[in-house]
Amino acid sequence: MTPKKTDTEQEALIKSLAKKTDEHEFYTPIPKNYQFGRTKYVFVTGSVISGVGKGIFSASLAKLLKDQGLHVEAMKFDGYLNVDAGTLNPYRHGEVFVLDDGTECDMDLGTYERFLDQDISKDNYLTAGKLFSQIITKERAGGYLGRDVQFIPHVTGEIKSFIRHLAQKSEADVVLIEVGGTAGDIESAYFLEALRELQYEEGAGNSCFVNVTYILKPSSLGEHKSKAAQLGIRTLMSMGIQPQLIVCRSTEPIPEKVREKLSIFSNVPVDRVIGLEDLQSIYQVPLKLKEAKADEIVTEILQLKAKLKSQEKALMQWEDFEKKMREPKSEINVAITGKYTGLHDAYASILNALEHAGEANCAHVNIHWVDTAKIETLKDAENALKGMQGVIVPGGFGSRGVEGKILCVQHCRENKVPYFGLCYGFQMAVIEFARNVCNIKGAHTTEVEPDCPEDVIDILPEQKEKEGLGGNMRLGGHKVDIKKGTVAESLYDATDAHERFRHRYECNPKYIDVLEKAGLVFSGKAPHHPIMQILELPAEQHPFFVGVQFHPEFTSRPLRPQPLFKGFVSACLKKN
């Protein structure tokens, strides 16, 4: 029999104090049956500037650790006071990514899912708004035993509890936690303090701090300067955090002397100060980190050598994928006609899904951005889409550019240009078909014209009594029933699918018959409800005309491209 593990003196002290919040200054709630040392932790922090690529680094490191046979979970902390990302303007924060459980979150979690090839949940995402909402609710219910609720120990204690809950629930070998923003930000200070405390409580060999910094190269000087990075690291060290691995982001490879300066300044061995310059694609980052032995450094720090397995097969698959990305046999031009064309991060998952589908078709997809607010006539649409082998109308909200989108749909339908409508693009296709094929001249959506005479797109019944914007849409993963003998069935090679939704409006059921009689095929619908989820024109009438009420881009993975995107790119190649 295996002898029962006994707590160390440190673990016993923490568990004891966790139960006595009314008598001690400690507040460290420990999940029931939590085992210290069972899960290891990697903390990824930023310095110098935000938007430096912590998310891609975190996802890449997590992938390398998973490829070695470890069960890895990735978590993101965001300091803004929004409860989730659902009400954020894409121009300010990039794409709103939707998890299968309906959580609206930061786009970095999409990167985690794609690189790890696994679904994650609300337990992997914590904002300040969500954190404080839970704390205030708990305080109102008397959950802190009359204590004055403070940042230390209560806020930090709840953060540690959130982390340990995921660790225990998932039984992960490693939980990797990315802290949004940079060291020195007020909104991330208590997150960093919680991680410092967690490292102390978990004991030596159970956690690793990684700082992703930025090395400047002013054009007026022509050489790399590390002072800003040194000051950022000093900020971390002044908070009691000692980085164990430093990742230097830069536009080009940094010289050895920069790594040496940072090593001396930060007490980090020079072989643990690694460079990560801008690369041709994000898919090269895991390979670059492997070359720098980043995963080996982390597993050594975390004392995980005994658990590791061969990484060779997974590396070969990734290298093959990345090579095909760099060496396509053909090219196609695809237009994305949306309202956030000034910030490409607003459509990050679409761009990634096109990359995955392109690689599967041995093709490179050139993206052309079309601002539909500037399209006022069918001739404008024709000029804007000239030379395109395919057109995507992506998701969105509001009235700006709507008529331009509808004109783009009409151009694609009439000229047999492959068309792919995503969420709002599905609705625009319904409106265009109703107006120009069914001769329903007043057809529109009540989102744009609440009193339109022909509401072919109307709000979902369950949404009519809801108020506010946050978390009030039809969100997350739902089953789609697929009609046999359709384009959708041939692409999925199945009669059902599981896809992620984010919408409040739908095709009005009272118009379904007239639309179908005119030739529009609703090839996918919600089980047990008249909610249309896929529309198409038959293959004999159009090379590819598909609209979906869901967001298929959220489920595409590098080595498993989403079927509809794969089919769309294939149709574009035939149009080429």
- Whether 187 is a known active-site residue: answer no
Q: Active-site residue among 154, 356, 503, 551?
A: 551
| DSSP code at position 76 | E
- Whether 553 is a known active-site residue: answer yes
Taken in order 467, 469, 472, 473, the sign of the CA dihedral is positive
Query: What is the SS3 assignment for 216?
Result: strand
SS3 track for 465-528: CCCCCCCCCEEEEEEEEECCCCHHHHHHCCCEEEEEEEECEEECHHHHHHHHHCCCEEEEECCC
Q: Active-site residue among 208, 423, 438, 572?
A: 423
Among candidates 363, 302, 403, which has minimal Cα distance to 568?
A: 363
Give CA–CA dist 195/160, Å, rounded: 7
Side-chain half-sphere exposure of 474, counting CA atoms within 13 A = 23
Query: What is the SS3 assignment for 440?
Result: coil
Give CA–CA dist 500/109, Å, rounded: 15
- Whether 208 is a known active-site residue: answer no
Greatest Cα pair distance, the chain, in angstroms, is: 80
Residue 83: phi, psi to the nearest 5?
Answer: -65, -35
Give CA–CA dist 308/239, Å, rounded: 33
Q: Active-site residue among 178, 489, 536, 553?
A: 553
| DSSP code at position 141 | T
- Helices and strands, number each (H, E), in the chain: 19, 21
Give CA–CA dist 214/217, Å, rounded: 10
Residue pair 211/181 in contact by the 8 Å Cβ criterion? no
527 exposure class (CB count in 10 Å sphere: 0-12, 13-18, 19+):
exposed
Q: CB 234: neighbour CB atoms within 10 A?
A: 15
Strands (E) across 65-155 are located at 72-78, 97-98, 104-105, 125-127
239 exposure class (CB count in 10 Å sphere: 0-12, 13-18, 19+):
middle
Residue pair 212/57 in contact by the 8 Å Cβ criterion? yes
Question: Catalytic amino acids?
Answer: 423, 551, 553
